[in-house]
Structure 1
Amino acid sequence: MPQDVVRALLEGEDAPAEDITERIVSRMVHLRETRLRADGRRHSYDEIASSFGASRASLSNLVNSRKKAPTETVTGARPSRLGGPLASTQAGVERFFFGEPNGWLSAEPASALNMALQPVLRALAATAGERSAEPRAVALRTAAALPDEKWKLLQGVIESLEQQVRDELGPDTSQ
């Protein structure tokens, strides 16, 4: 999800409306760009598609046709809609990246953010029992092992929460 959408959700606002197919495709692209192979390269469409019996062309065409979709419409005509991915395609992509279908690709933004943050919360909860260090230090040590994109997201969450606490407690509160 874009950082502005994450920030809005964390601040209790609604996410902007979006086309479900655009959401699914953008999340597929995001997974492919951020969940890299061991050699640091992106997974190929062929590798992803063959894992669930689809063709490379089906995934490639889905993503590329959305990028090239015409935005102009004839006056008075309904905008044409390209077909979205089948549920089996969504499940296959989710299985490839997450190990099981979990609905993340099509989930509403608030639910998707919740799903994405659950592993971070579990890791933080697991280290919360360590009494030898202050909670923020434990959280930062745990977060240090996260990939860059997740670290940036977590950093934004922390800054947003700190700002929310400052706003609630007032300007006289010292840290």
Structure 2
Amino acid sequence: MRDPRQSLAETLRHIDSLLGDGQSRGDVLDARQLSITSGVPQDVVEILLNGRQAPDEDITDRIIRRITHLRETRRRPDGSRHSYDEIASSFGATRASLSNLVNGRGRARGSTQPAREAGQRQSRSGGPLASTQAGVERFFFGEPNGWLSAEPESALNEALRPVLAGLRTAGGPDSYSGNRAMALRTAATLPDDEWELVERFINTLVRQVREEREQGS
């Protein structure tokens, strides 16, 4: 599996390559909206967009924080939040079980047991937390999709896909200058070993074309 940080960096390079003259990332990337879409806190979104590493976060804390985030940002048509009872009953759980999971996590941090240790034990146990994650994701997204537990880099990368697609569409599929600029900038960022592979491939391709032309003459 590819490193999420590498995938995010590649997406950001592609976005940079498609920006018009005088444009910067800030002109097309809205950190607040990306935070709402990805579930990554806005300050962490800004950290990742600047090429720095996201701070560590316990996976259970992340799942519970994003459940709260979904209730705040994916509301009913009338603007009210979905109730714990409404969400929990959709996957056969009780209001109390979901409410206690979300609200009880904060109380657990005040106990003598380190929060990270408690979270790791609950995460490893699967069962209730795993079924809750799947149920909440199904309620908000229609199916379990890993959104609640996704690493910040992966979550932000997914939120950037529509932005990248929009820039590609705006540039047009036949935009020679845009495609050429993207290819040149991507090539310039390749590490030496990967660039050598590309160079050998190009040289081999040129040699084969020459040989075919000589045979046909």
Q: TM-score range by the shorter chain?
A: 0.5 to 0.7
Could you tell me whether the CA contact under 8 Å between 1:104 and 1:115 is conserved in 2?
A: no
Instruction: Confirm whether residue 113 of structure 1 aligns to residue 156 of structure 2.
Output: yes
Q: Which runs of 5+ in 2 are unaligned?
A: 1-39, 174-217
**2:207 — aligned with what?**
none
Deviation at 1:122, TM superposition (A): 3.9
Evaluate the alpha carbon distance shift between residue 103 and residue 122 of structure 1 in structure 2; reply closer, same or farther with a 3 A threshold.
Answer: same
| Matched residues, number | 126
Instruction: Confirm whether residue 20 of structure 1 aligns to residue 59 of structure 2.
Output: yes
**TM-score, length-scaled by structure 2:** 0.52
Deviation at 1:36, TM superposition (A): 0.5
CA RMSD, Structure 1 to Structure 2 (Å): 2.3
Aligned match of 1:103 in 128, 139, 146? 146
Structure with more helix by fraction = 2
Greater Cα radius of gyration, structure 1 or 2 = 2
Counterpart secondary structure, 1:69: helix
| Equivalent-residue separation in structure 2 for 1:129 and 1:60 (angstroms) | 48
Give the aligned residue type for 1:68: R
Aligned match of 1:79 in 109, 114, 125? 114
| Equivalent-residue separation in structure 2 for 1:126 and 1:44 (angstroms) | 39
**2:189 — aligned with what?**
none
| Equivalent-residue separation in structure 2 for 1:122 and 1:94 (angstroms) | 25
Deviation at 1:46, TM superposition (A): 1.0
**1:67 — aligned with what?**
106
| Equivalent-residue separation in structure 2 for 1:123 and 1:56 (angstroms) | 40
Give the aligned residue type for 1:71: G
Alignment of 1:1-175 (within 5 A): 1-71=40-110, 73=112, 79=114, 81=118, 83-84=122-123, 86-123=129-166, 125-126=168-169, 129=172
Query: More relative contact order in 1 or in 2 (CA 8 Å, sep 6+)?
Result: 2
Deviation at 1:79, TM superposition (A): 2.7
| Equivalent-residue separation in structure 1 for 2:167 and 2:140 (angstroms) | 23
Counterpart secondary structure, 2:104: helix
Give the aligned residue type for 2:47: A
Give the aligned residue type for 2:66: R
Deviation at 1:11, TM superposition (A): 1.4
Give the aligned residue type for 1:107: A
Identical aligned residues as a percent: 70
Deviation at 1:49, TM superposition (A): 1.1
**TM-score, length-scaled by structure 1:** 0.63
Evaluate the alpha carbon distance shift between residue 52 and residue 125 of structure 1 in structure 2; reply closer, same or farther with a 3 A threshold.
Answer: farther
Deviation at 1:59, TM superposition (A): 0.9
| Equivalent-residue separation in structure 1 for 2:154 and 2:138 (angstroms) | 18
